[in-house]
Each structure stands twice: as C-alpha cells, then as structure tokens.
Copies of this chain bind each other. A is one copy, B any other.
Amino acid sequence: MQTSDRIENAMKRALDVAQAGQPPAQLSAALRYAILPGGARIRPTILLSVATACGDDRPELSAAAAAALELIHCASLVHDDLPCFDDADIRRGKPSVHRTFSEPLAVLTGDSLIMLAFETLAHAGKGDPSGNDAARAAQLVLSLSRRSGMPGGICAGQGWESEESIDLHAYHMSKTAALFIAATEMGAISAGHDPEPWRDLGALIGEAFQVADDLRDALLDDAALGKPAGQDDLHHRPNAVARLGVTGATERLSDILAGAIASIPSCPGEAALAQMVRRQAQAIMPVLPQHNRA
C-alpha cells in the first residue's frame, strides 16, 4: 500500500474511534473537519519512511504512530488559529475550525485530537501478545509527548511567543523542529530501533521546513498559501527571511537539506530515504505556489 493511503486509512481509523456510538454531533463533526482532507501529511510521511528504512516489522504500529503524530499536528493548527493566537480565518484553503463551528468547539477539538493521538498509540500497543508492542507503544507515547509539551515541544515553542526576550534556538527547535524529531524518532521506535541516531535527521528537516515556511510566508499570497500570508512580519515573529534576505535564506535551505541527507544513519533503506527527503524538500520549496501544504 502507498504511504499516503496508509496515512489516510490510519487517520480514518482513529476518527472512527473518536466518533463511535452517539457522541455530541458538532464536536464530532469538528474533529472530522480538522483532520480531513489533510495537508501534505509531511510529518507522518517522514515517520513511515524512517520506519520502512528500519525494516517496518510492525506496520500496524507504525501506521498508528503516523496517525498519532498527524493528530497532534492538526490539534496544534486548530489551537494556533484561535482568536487569542493567530486569529486565522482560513486554514488549508477553508474556514478555520473556530470560524466554522465556534471558539469553544475549536478548543475542545484540539484537546480531543491530543487525547485521540495517545489513545491511538496505546490501542496499537495491544496488538502483540508478547508485550513487545506495548513496550514500543510506551516509547512512542514518551517521544510524542516530549516533542509536543514542555519544556521542549511545540507548546513550549508557542510559549516562547509570550516572552519579551526569546531564545531563538530554543524557539525554532521547539516550535517547528520538535514534531519532525518526533517523526524520525517514532519511525525508528515503531520498527524496534533505537531512536537516538535518528534525532539529527528530524532536527535538520525541521530546520529546513522552518526556513522554507518563512520563505513561503514572505513570498506567496493568501490564495497560494491556503492561509493568511505575511503573518511573520505582522506578528513581528523572528524569521529567516528578515535575518538573511530571500537569497540568503534560500542558500541556507539547500545547505540544511544536504546536511539532513548526510545525517541519515546507515541502514538498508538509506538510499530510498535520501530520495524521500529530496522529494519533501521539493514539496516545501516556495517557487511553485501549491495549496494545502500546511
């Protein structure tokens, strides 16, 4: 099965769990709205690519991990769009969750998606009577929660924006790189490998993604971006284009991607993984306006 189909199927299975029985209808609809149709699903694609490179001996576990990671990402988008943060009207080319439903339902949608992410991991850990899957599931929960919360996950990254003085390295590592590190770590863990050697790859892809995102925010318009453009300047957020200019930021992006490919640990699927990183790099490059890349 294609990677993209594995991800969409796993997302739908997770959604089925959250919508079982007769849940409150609006919150149920808001969950579906927040995760389907998706964006580029970059993080779960990286996760499954790393799992494949590591042998992917428990494909149900890696698919669940991919869905869990994407659920956390979707939750963060819903909360980031709230009036008290970006106050975004559109996301992925359609009205944001709080615009379509309500602010209370948007808060609850984010919270529910976070819970669903961890439920998805724990549920997948029950598959194997030997207990191996449970041990991997617990490790997956540890990686995902660390890369999502405080002091170094995406919550911390967003938290830095409330500080008068920002630790720029910590800000970028937590705000953007953290979930890419989760992607490579969780891919390795799903396949029973040590996550540690895979951390650098995630951090570098995350850094590349941040620079590409800064370029896209500066260069594209709302329609091409699928969300409001120019937000970094508007909110005075530190960004690579302001620091290095467009040419400098583009050069920096190439260097980081070369470093990312060089950092791939020796494994049977090394060449295919390098290819995937190059493909993802093309997908995030801002030269061609493309929709739904969030």
Q: Which residues of A contact B (CB under 8 A)?
A: 18-28, 31, 75, 79, 82, 84-85, 101-105, 107-108, 110-112, 114-116, 118-119, 121-123, 125-126, 131-132, 134-135, 137-139, 141-142, 144-146, 148-153, 155-156, 158-163, 167, 170
Contact = CB atoms under 8 A, between A and B. Distances in A.
Contact of A23 (B139, B142, B144, B151): B151
Nearest to A124: B138
Given A84-B103, A84-B107, A167 B31 contact: no
Copies in the assembly, this chain: 2
A133 to B, nearest CB: 8
A147 to B, nearest CB: 9
A151 B20 contact: yes
A134 B138 contact: yes
Given A116-B145, A134-B131, A163 B24 contact: yes
A155 B115 contact: yes
A2 B132 CA distance: 35
Contacts of A148: 111, 115
A159 B24 contact: yes
A19 B150 contact: yes
B142 A24 contact: no
A79 B103 CA distance: 12
A29 to B, nearest CB: 10
B114 A159 contact: no
A41 to B, nearest CB: 21
26 contacts: A20-B151, A22-B167, A23-B152, A23-B159, A24-B170, A26-B159, A27-B155, A27-B159, A27-B162, A28-B150, A28-B159, A84-B102, A104-B158, A104-B161, A108-B159, A114-B115, A116-B149, A118-B141, A118-B144, A122-B138, A122-B141, A122-B145, A125-B138, A131-B134, A131-B135, A134-B139
B160 A24 contact: yes
B119 A156 contact: no
- Please report whether the interface of chain A is mostly helix, strand, loop or mixed according to DSSP: helix
A199 to B, nearest CB: 16
A107 B79 contact: yes
A149 B18 contact: yes
Contacts of A138: 122, 125-126, 134, 137-138, 141
B112 A155 contact: yes
A177 to B, nearest CB: 15
A170 B132 CA distance: 36
Contacts of A24: 156, 159-160, 162-163, 170
Contact of A116 (B84, B115, B150): B150
Q: Which one of A22, A82, A123, A135 has the greatest number of beta carbons of chain B within 10 Å?
A: A135
A111 B112 contact: no
